[in-house]
């Protein structure tokens, strides 16, 4: 009996609501605004993404190459977003220095670094042959 009431409550909470979906999208946009306002590295990544996009148009890369470029840029943006979320949470939950808090932040920053390295490698594979053929 208790289980049935519990399941009914869960089902009520899971009902589709346009208002709830709109609120969740609003929260997501707010989060991106926080990211853009507070994360200086994100601006650097946007700068390099704009250079990459411009280079893609100038060098007329193929549709498949665009897909790889977009995925590489998206990977960097996503890891930076998660890194920022982790940093905000750790600053809240561990306001004083703790070695595990530092390690967590460093590992998250390492994920951003790895994604940036992957993006650079993808860019080099796509752009270097085209640049060399122009020279």
**The CATH number of the domain where 55 resides is what?**
1.10.287.3610
Per-residue pLDDT tens for 73-124? 999 999 999 999 999 999 999 989 999 999 999 999 999 999 999 999 999 9
Q: What is the pLDDT of residue 17?
A: 75
Contacts 24+ apart (CB under 8 A), 35-42: 35/80, 35/81, 35/84, 38/84, 39/80, 39/84, 41/80, 41/112, 42/77, 42/80, 42/84
Q: What is the pLDDT of residue 7?
A: 64
Of the two residues 6 and 56, the one the predictor is more confident about is 56
- Catalytic site residues? 80
Q: What is the pLDDT of residue 14?
A: 67
* End-to-end Cα spacing for the chain: 77
Q: What is the pLDDT of residue 135?
A: 87
Same domain for 97 and 48: yes
Same domain for 48 and 2: no
Backbone torsions φ then ψ of 60, nearest 5 degrees: 50, 55
Same domain for 12 and 77: no
pLDDT bucket at 1, cuts 50 / 70 / 90: low
Same domain for 18 and 50: no
Same domain for 69 and 129: yes
Domain limits for position 102: 39-134
Q: What is the pLDDT of residue 22?
A: 81
Same domain for 49 and 8: no
Same domain for 121 and 106: yes
Whether the predicted pLDDT of 13 surpasses 90:
no
Q: What is the pLDDT of residue 24?
A: 84
* Number of domains composing the chain: 2
Same domain for 121 and 72: yes
């Amino acid at each position: 009996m208790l289980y049935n009431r519990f399941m009914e409550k869960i089902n009520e909470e899971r009902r589709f609501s346009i208002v709830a979906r709109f609120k969740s999208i609003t929260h997501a946009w707010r989060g991106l605004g926080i990211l853009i306002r507070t994360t200086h590295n994100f601006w650097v990544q946007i700068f390099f993404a704009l250079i990459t996009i411009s280079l893609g148009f100038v060098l007329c890369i193929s549709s498949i190459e665009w897909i790889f470029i977009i995925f590489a840029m998206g990977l960097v943006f996503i890891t930076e977003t998660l890194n920022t979320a982790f940093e905000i949470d750790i600053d809240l939950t561990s306001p004083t220095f703790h070695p595990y808090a530092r390690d967590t932040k460093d590992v998250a920053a390492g994920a951003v670094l790895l994604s940036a390295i992957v993006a650079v490698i993808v860019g080099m594979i796509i752009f270097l042959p085209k640049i060399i053929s122009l020279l």
